[in-house]
């Protein structure tokens, strides 16, 4: 591949990545997140819990589902999910946001992922799937 072809390929890729960042989460944030293609949304045997239950009784690497609102974006892939029981930190890669759907602090979402229990510091949910359940 010659230099011009490489330059054109890099320019096209960078432009597409920049356009993708303009969509996704639009709640309180220091920057935005980018969406990707849809994921599996069928039935699951993964237990549904509250933030309080998960923080109190969850075990490391446990797969769970939480329902609530993403009330804050604290930078990078870091968000805060709040439900009626409390709040939990959630790490959400931009690729897990639903494509062509904006999520803000009033959108009720269902997060599925792996619980990362820390002995010291804050435990968090490593999100693998987001499903929008209601927009208020």
Per-residue model confidence as pLDDT tens for the chain (136 residues):
566 666 555 655 555 444 444 345 666 554 444 444 555 656 767 789 999 999 999 999 999 999 999 999 999 999 999 999 999 999 999 999 988 888 999 999 999 999 999 888 889 999 999 999 877 6
Return the domain boundaries, the chain: 3-135
For domain 3-135, the question of CATH label 2.40.50.200 is answered with yes
75-90 residue pLDDT tens: 999 999 999 999 999 9
Q: What does the pLDDT read at residue 88?
A: 96
Q: Which residue has the tokens 């803000």?
A: 104
Q: What is the pTM of this model?
A: 0.67
Token pair of 98, please?
Answer: 């639903």
3-state secondary structure of 9: helix
Q: What does the pLDDT read at residue 22?
A: 39
Residue-wise DSSP of 63-107: EEEEEEEEEEEEETTEEEEEETTEEEEEE--GGGEETT--B-TTE
């Amino acid at each position: 591949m010659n230099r011009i072809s490489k330059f054109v390929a890099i320019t096209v890729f960078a432009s597409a990545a920049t356009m993708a960042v303009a969509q996704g989460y639009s709640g309180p944030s220091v920057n935005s997140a980018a969406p990707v293609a849809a994921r599996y949304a069928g039935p699951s045997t993964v237990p549904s819990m509250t933030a309080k239950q998960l923080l109190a009784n969850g075990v490391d690497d446990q797969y769970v589902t939480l329902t609530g609102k993403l009330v804050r974006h604290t930078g990078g892939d870091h968000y805060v999910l709040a439900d009626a029981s409390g709040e939990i930190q959630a790490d959400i890669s931009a690729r897990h946001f639903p494509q062509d759907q904006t999520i803000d602090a009033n959108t009720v979402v269902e997060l599925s992922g792996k619980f990362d229990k820390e002995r010291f510091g804050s435990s968090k949910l490593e999100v693998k799937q987001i499903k929008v359940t209601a927009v208020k």
